[in-house]
Structure 1
Amino acid sequence: MVRATGSVRSPVLLALPFDGRWLVQNSPARRVPSHGVDVLGQRYAIDFTGVDERGRTASQWGWGTLLSTEPPERFVGFGRPILAPVDGVVVSVHDGEPDHEARRSQLALVAYVAGQAGRLREGPAAVAGNHVIMRDRASQAFVALVHLQAGSLRVRPGDEVAVGEQLARCGNSGNSTQPHVHVQAMDSDDLRVARGLPIAFTAYRQWDPRGRGIRDVAVGIPDERAIVAPVPE
């Protein structure tokens, strides 16, 4: 286990870890702790779910959408490249967790939520699924990208990476109801003891969830239910 040296007072600045449009969920702009808990360094975590040009997370519907589960391949974000949000070094990776069936059905979600406590008891890998943890060169904080696609990781501990470099692909591993990427900054590379750190994103375009138009943001935290994408260069 490694702790970040000193105290990180300012938000850890991140680039969006993807191209294209993504829906913002569980944003710390809405509440803190953003996911309702402080465990596993999640206090300021944020989720992004891939969407198409019409804002849909999936273009297909079926009986599983209403009553059961669906294959993760049905979702727009599944398999999309996940990119390094900071310049730094990879400190740990985990692969081998399966990409399980997705759940939009309320019936399927009830049973899944009931099993969350059991997954937490199994340890970080059962919750985070396949993931990469990097050490940010600028802040010395640790940044985790979580719920990655099985077998898609391209990096190993010790690798130097730059902003925009592909690390893996978006998956549905761990404690995930549909394919998305979960991003968080922490003071430790050990999820069992890590404390979450505030984050902010740079150079993103936001489609307002209340229909108030589009704006480009230099530094900020995306709003809950907004759609975001990197500002075109």
Structure 2
Amino acid sequence: MQTSQRHRMRPRAIWMSIVVTLALIALFLLNTMRASDNSMEAGYEMIDKQEPFIVQFPLRGEWHAPNTPGSKIPSHGSNLLGTRYAFDFIQVDWDKPGWPAYRGGLLKYLISGIPLEDYYCWGKKVHAPHDGTVVRVEDGLPERQRTKLFTDFSGARKAAVEFDPVTDDARSVAGNFVIIELANDVYAALCHLQTDSITVKVGQHVTAGDVIGNVGHSGNSFAPHLHFQLMNSMGIATAQGIPCSFERYETFRNDTWVEITNGIPTSTERIRHAG
């Protein structure tokens, strides 16, 4: 009887060992990403010597930008799909190790997954970053109802390898999105929006600060977040990225909030915008 129990425990022990190993790898990659950030002052230094187009911050409250041209260019590792200067914004618990973006532990994420409603930023309002005209709206693409490492990684790999900009629907990568024309040859794309949350329509004029939708998890998304970028055309599949800076926001330094003007947040900064 004792021998039988030991044999039954071995697969479980092996499985737990695999899970712990994956968790350690995830933490290592997270720390490596942070260590690679050079913690530059928000500004123009990392923008390929191109003067950024100034916009308003598209969110309210406290945020973190794990992918930002303030830390590396291309910010997403590629110039494709207009992403050279793109930002990803999430909300995190700054008081917990690793700055988790959701309620619950890492093992839950790895094994059973995290429901969307457990992410701090899911459903938060997204605002127009500048006065302009809405030129494209894509909505109605369903969101996966929970995040899970292996499922999300498989989907991201498939999207990266198999996406054809000529024949494929841009929503398979960008999810539900809004594109706003800000000026001649300057377009803002706000992507991965929550299904059926978009409040604007094509041809509508928007003013900076207007609500256009909610943060979601549609398309090629590892977790709920806002993907924000400027580009030189309304066609995500073929556009080139344009650098931008944010007119005003605050960053948390030395236990106090410091106002930044025309800045570009880095991947280690705690930032906020009160609206």
TM-score range (shorter-chain normalised) is 0.7 to 0.9
TM-score (norm 1): 0.85
CA distance in 2, matches of 1:88, 1:98: 27
Query: Aligned partners of 2:157, 2:83: CA distance in 1, in Å?
Result: 20
Instruction: Confirm whether residue 33 of structure 1 aligns to residue 74 of structure 2.
Output: yes
Structure 1 residues 56-65 or 179-188, which shifts more?
56-65
Match in the other structure for 2:188:
143
Question: Secondary structure of the residue that 1:182 maps to in structure 2?
Answer: strand
Q: Relative to 1, partners in 2 of residues 1:156 and 1:59: Cα closer, same or farther, differing over 3 Å?
A: same
Partner of 2:18: none
Residue 115 of structure 1 aligns to a residue whose secondary structure is helix
Tell whether 2:140 aligns with 1:99: no
Confirm or deny that 1:130 pairs with 2:151.
Answer: no
| Pairing 1:74-113 to 2, within 5 Å after superposition | 74-103=118-147, 105=149, 107-113=150-156
Q: How many residues align?
A: 220
- Over 3 Å counting, the alpha-carbon distance change for 1:68 and 1:142 in structure 2 is same
The CA deviation at 1:23 is 1.1
Shift of 1:145: 0.3
Partner of 1:20: 61
Going from structure 1 to structure 2, the CA distance change for 1:136 and 1:96 (only over 3 Å counts) comes to: same
Map residues 155-174 of structure 1 onto 2, 5 A cutoff. 155-174=200-219
Change (3 A) 1:153 1:110: closer
Structure 1 residue runs of 5 or longer lacking an equivalent are 1-8
Unaligned runs of 5+ in 2: 1-49
Which of 205, 214, 223 is the equivalent residue of 2:266? 223
Matched, 1:58 2:93: no
Amino acid at match of 2:189: A
Question: Which whole-Å deviations, capped at 9, do the CAs of 1:122-162 have from their partners, x for residues lacking one?
Answer: 3311000000000114x651000000000000000110101
> Matched residues in 2 for 1:28 and 1:104: separation?
27
Deviation at residue 207 of structure 1 after TM alignment: 2.5
Q: Which has the higher helix share?
A: 2
Contact kept? 2:132, 2:206, Cα under 8 Å: yes
- In 1, the alpha carbon distance for the partners of 2:181 and 2:142 equals 26
Confirm or deny that 1:200 pairs with 2:238: no
- Higher-Rg structure is 2
TM-score by length of 2: 0.73
Task: Give the conservation status (yes or no) of the 8 Å contact 2:179–2:189.
Answer: yes
Structure-2 change in CA distance of 1:102 and 1:12 (3 Å): farther
| Matched-pair identity in % | 32
Q: 2:134–2:204: 8 Å Cα contact kept in structure 1?
A: yes
